[in-house]
C-alpha cells in the first residue's frame, strides 16, 4: 500500500475543519491554512500528518529521509461543474459570436442541440476516445475529482446512454467522478417543456436511479430553457429517488433561480451572473446551497460578472469550477479558472483555492473524503512549480502543476519536482 512523506516550502492544507458543518464561507474560506516548511505524510493512501516539518512526530516519519519538493503542495482540485462526456468541438460557433451573433442567437441550430447531434452520431468507443485524453489533461492540471454531466442526450434513451458513458469514463480514469443527470438542459426539438419535464420525472430519473447511473440531478433554469417551477418539481422527484439536486441559475438573465435553488434544497446554484439581492440573501442564509462560480464561461460569453464581492461579504459559500464544455467554456484547467477568477471576479488566490477544493468537494457530497489535506482524508494533492500559490492567479496560461497525486500515488508528472 501507499505510504509517503514529503517536505515542501509551503503546504496549503486547505479549509480547516472546525466546529461546523456545511460548506465554508467568510473567514472559514478566506483563512485557508498555509504552512511554511510543511510536511505531508500518508499511509494506505490517507493523510496521517499535515503540519510544520519541525513538529513531525518521530512515529510518523523522519524528516531526514523525506523527499523535499521545490514547490508548494496543495489539495487536489475538485472540478464540481463540467459537461464531460461530450463529443466534438464547436469552434466555428465561437467564431460566429466573434462576428457578432449571441449565444441566444445560436441556441436553436447550434449550441446544446448541436452537441446532442454530435454525441448521437458517435459510437461509444469514439466518445471514450475523445473524452479520456481530456480527463487525463485535467489530471495534468491538478484535478483529482470531477463531476460528469449528461444533458446532450435530449431523449430518455440518449440521456441514459450518456449517463452510462459517464459511469464508464469514471471507472477508466484516475479521478474520483460523480455523475449528474442534466436532463433538463434544453427542451428537445418537437416537444413542449411540460411534456419533457413529465417524461424526465416519470421515466428518466427513476430509471437512472434504479440503474445507479446518477448521483445528482441538475436543471438549467433560464428563459430559453426551464422554469423555477420545473426545478421544484424535478428536485422533488430527485429526492424521492435518493439523488442530490443541482441548478444552473441566473446565467443569461435574472429568473430568481438562486433563491429557488435554496428553496429546493439544491447543493449548488451555478453561474449566478444575474443573481439579485434576494438570491444573495437566500444563499448567505443557508448552509447547504453553494454558489458555484464559473468565471471562464463569463469571460467566454463576455457576460456580466456576478456580484462576487457582495456575495462574499454577505457570507455566501462559493465554489469555483471550469464549466468545461464545447460551447461556452472549452477550458479544463482549474489553475486557469483561478487566474480568471482573480482578474475578473477579484477573488483572492487562497479563497479561490478553498473554493476549488473544499467547497467544490462539498457540492459533490465528497467533503468527508476529499477537498483538504486533513487527517483521515485521501492523500489527493498537487505539487506546484513554485513555492508561492499566488503565482497560480498571477500567470494565466501557465500550468503551475508539476505533479498530481491521488491516494498517495503519483498519477501525473511533467518534470523535475525536487531541487
Closest CB to Zn ion among residues 227, 268? 268
Considering the complex, what minimum distance in angstroms separates the CB of residue 87 from Zn ion?
17
Q: In DSSP terms, which residues pair with 381 in a beta bridge?
A: 75, 405
Sign for the CA dihedral angle at 137, 76, 219, 161 comes to positive
Angle at 274 between CA 268 and CA 280, to 5 degrees: 55
Closest CB to Zn ion among residues 79, 259? 79
Closest CB to Zn ion among residues 14, 279? 279
Backbone angles phi, psi at 308, to 5 degrees: -65, -40
Q: With CB under 5 A as the contact rule, which of the stretches 21-29, 258-266, 318-326, 411-419 interacts with Zn ion? A: 318-326
Give the list of residues 6+ apart from residue 396 with CB closer than 8 angstroms, or none. Answer: 336, 339, 340, 343
Considering the complex, what minimum distance in angstroms separates the CB of residue 10 from Zn ion?
33
Closest CB to Zn ion among residues 215, 323? 323
Q: With CB under 5 A as the contact rule, which of the stretches 66-74, 123-131, 320-328, 372-380 interacts with Zn ion? A: 320-328
Q: With CB under 5 A as the contact rule, which of the stretches 40-48, 132-140, 321-329, 332-340 interacts with Zn ion? A: 321-329
Considering the complex, what minimum distance in angstroms separates the CB of residue 94 from Zn ion?
16
Considering the complex, what minimum distance in angstroms separates the CB of residue 220 from Zn ion?
7
Q: With CB under 5 A as the contact rule, which of the stretches 317-325, 331-339, 362-370, 390-398 interacts with Zn ion? A: 317-325
Query: Hey, how many other C-beta atoms are within 10 angstroms of the C-beta on 178?
Result: 23
Q: Under rule CB under 5 A, which residues in 156-195 are in contact with Zn ion?
A: none
Question: Which cell numbers in the block locate residue 372?
Answer: 483538504
Considering the complex, what minimum distance in angstroms separates the CB of residue 283 from Zn ion?
18
| Whole-number Cα distances in Å, 306 to 7, 118, 130, 273, 384 | 39, 32, 33, 4, 29
Considering the complex, what minimum distance in angstroms separates the CB of residue 251 from Zn ion?
8
d(CA 235, CA 245): 6
d(CA 94, CA 168): 30
Angle at 233 between CA 231 and CA 238, to 5 degrees: 90
Site string for Zn ion, 323-342 (x = CB under 5 A): x-------------------
Considering the complex, what minimum distance in angstroms separates the CB of residue 248 from Zn ion?
5
State the residue number with the nearest CB to Zn ion: 323
Which among 268, 241, 270, 295 is positioned nearest to 364, based on CA atoms? 268
Closest CB to Zn ion among residues 323, 385? 323
Angle in degrees, 0-180, between the axes of helices 124-140 and 156-172, rounded to the nearest 10: 50
Closest CB to Zn ion among residues 323, 380? 323
Closest CB to Zn ion among residues 147, 380? 147
Q: Which residues bind Zn ion (CB under 5 A)?
A: 323
Amino acid at each position: 500500500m501507499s505510504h509517503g512523506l514529503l517536505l515542501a516550502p509551503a503546504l496549503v492544507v486547505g479549509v480547516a475543519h472546525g466546529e461546523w458543518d456545511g460548506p465554508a464561507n467568510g473567514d472559514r474560506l478566506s483563512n485557508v491554512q498555509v504552512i511554511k516548511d510543511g510536511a505531508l505524510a500518508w499511509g494506505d493512501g490517507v493523510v496521517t500528518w499535515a503540519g510544520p516539518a519541525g513538529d513531525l512526530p518521530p512515529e510518523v516519519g523522519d524528516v531526514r529521509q523525506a523527499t523535499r519538493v521545490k514547490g508548494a503542495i496543495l489539495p487536489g482540485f475538485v472540478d464540481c461543474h463540467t459537461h464531460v462526456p461530450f463529443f466534438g468541438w464547436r469552434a466555428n460557433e465561437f467564431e460566429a459570436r466573434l462576428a457578432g451573433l449571441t449565444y441566444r442567437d445560436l441556441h436553436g441550430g447550434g449550441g446544446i442541440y448541436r452537441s446532442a447531434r454530435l454525441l448521437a452520431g458517435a459510437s461509444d468507443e469514439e466518445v471514450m476516445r475523445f473524452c479520456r485524453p481530456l480527463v487525463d489533461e485535467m489530471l495534468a492540471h491538478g484535478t483529482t475529482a470531477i463531476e460528469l454531466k449528461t444533458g446532450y442526450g435530449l431523449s430518455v434513451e440518449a440521456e441514459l446512454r450518456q449517463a452510462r458513458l459517464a459511469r464508464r469514463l469514471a471507472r477508466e480514469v484516475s479521478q474520483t467522478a460523480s455523475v449528474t443527470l442534466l436532463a433538463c438542459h434544453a427542451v428537445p426539438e418537437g416537444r413542449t417543456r411540460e411534456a419533457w419535464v413529465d417524461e424526465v420525472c416519470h421515466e428518466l430519473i427513476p430509471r437512472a436511479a434504479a440503474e445507479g447511473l446518477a448521483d445528482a440531478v441538475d436543471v438549467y433554469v433560464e428563459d430559453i430553457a426551464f422554469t423555477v417551477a420545473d426545478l421544484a418539481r424535478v428536485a422533488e422527484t430527485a429526492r424521492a429517488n435518493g439523488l442530490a439536486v443541482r441548478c444552473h441559475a441566473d446565467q443569461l438573465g435574472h429568473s430568481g433561480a438562486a433563491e429557488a435553488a435554496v428553496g429546493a434544497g439544491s447543493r449548488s446554484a451555478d453561474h449566478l451572473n444575474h443573481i439579485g439581492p434576494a438570491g444573495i440573501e437566500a444563499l448567505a442564509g443557508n448552509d447547504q446551497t453553494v454558489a458555484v462560480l464559473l468565471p471562464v464561461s463569463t469571460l467566454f460569453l463576455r457576460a456580466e460578472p456576478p456580484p462576487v464581492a457582495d456575495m462574499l461579504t454577505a457570507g455566501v459559500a462559493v465554489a469555483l469550477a471550469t464549466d468545461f464544455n464545447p460551447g461556452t467554456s472549452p477550458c479544463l484547467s482549474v489553475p486557469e479558472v483561478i487566474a480568471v477568477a482573480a482578474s475578473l471576479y477579484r477573488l483572492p488566490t487562497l479563497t479561490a483555492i478553498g473554493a476549488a477544493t473544499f467547497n467544490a468537494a462539498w457540492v459533490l457530497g465528497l467533503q468527508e473524503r476529499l477537498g483538504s489535506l486533513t487527517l483521515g482524508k485521501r492523500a489527493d494533492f498537487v505539487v506546484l512549480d513554485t513555492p508561492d500559490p499566488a503565482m497560480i492567479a498571477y500567470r494565466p496560461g501557465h500550468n503551475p502543476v508539476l505533479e498530481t497525486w491521488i491516494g498517495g500515488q503519483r498519477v501525473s508528472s511533467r518534470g523535475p519536482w525536487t531541487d
